[in-house]
Amino acid sequence: MENRILLVDDETEMRKLLSVCLSPYGYELDEACNGEEALYKLTDNHYALVLLDIMMPEMDGFELIERVRNHLDNTTPVILLSALGDSERVVEGLRLGADDYIVKPFEPKILAARIESVLRRTQKARSSNETFTVKGLVFYPDRFQVSYEKQVLPLTKKEFQILHRLASNPGKVYSREHLLELEWGMEYEGDNRTVDTHVKNIREKLKHADFNEAIIETVWGVGYKAIECK
């Protein structure tokens, strides 16, 4: 597994602290003190992951991740570092394309575990048309179908797309707004609770098919994620 991480934070002490905390876990940190320096380094180097502070002067984490996702790189995973109680900013970061977030202050072992989880998830990312199985559910993306014990679940296209996206990225948190944008498009003007309705329908159809394992987890105040297989 690649171990080179770009840490973007305007606070010198925080960069030093994270470097000390993560070195025992085998991660090599490259540092950027602002968004412009981060863009420069991301253009010329490859990183396994980006640790990105939200609150920075001039170019904050939101602007940086938006520029990276839209114009530079849509594959390198990003973990946001968020101030305590900053839930609205976390939701915005996830909508813009962050893969996870961790709230300050945090324990080094928790941060290392979250990094490992995101890197493992990235390595296991599946192509959009590849048939795969999760907890006995067999996904056929080219047919928009999911089967369980040889019976096809009666999912609508949107229900399939939501379940497929979550199952393809276990552990990744998707906000309701982000799921709306991905599955309905930027022009959709409906209530984001539409996602809740679709998730409820998915769960009921799974239960009706005698699929009794938990697969979709609600992340309160944010959205949903698929439970990672142990």
The answer to whether the predicted template modeling score (pTM) of the entire model surpasses 0.85 is no
Question: How many Cβ atoms are within 10 Å of 19's Cβ, its own excluded?
Answer: 16
Class of domain 4-123: alpha beta
Secondary structure (H, E, C), 153-187: CCCCHHHHHHHHHHHHCCCCCEEHHHHHHHHHCCC
**Cβ(153)–Cβ(111) under 8 Å?**
no
Query: Is there a common fold for 4-123 and 132-226?
Result: no
Domain ranges of the chain: 4-123, 132-226
Pick the CATH number of 132-226 from 1.20.272.10, 3.40.190.10, 1.10.150.20, 1.10.10.10: 1.10.10.10
What does pLDDT average to in each consecutive run of 10 residues of the chain (230 residues)?
A: 85 91 89 93 88 89 86 77 74 82 86 87 62 89 88 90 90 89 69 88 94 91 83
Token pair of 47, please?
């990183």
Sign of CA dihedral 202, 208, 210, 214: positive
Contacts 24+ apart (CB under 8 A), 204-208: 205/153, 205/154, 205/155, 205/159, 206/137, 206/148, 206/153
Instruction: Give the per-residue pLDDT at 131.
Output: 84
Instruction: Give the per-residue pLDDT at 125.
Output: 55
Instruction: Give the per-residue pLDDT at 1.
Output: 45
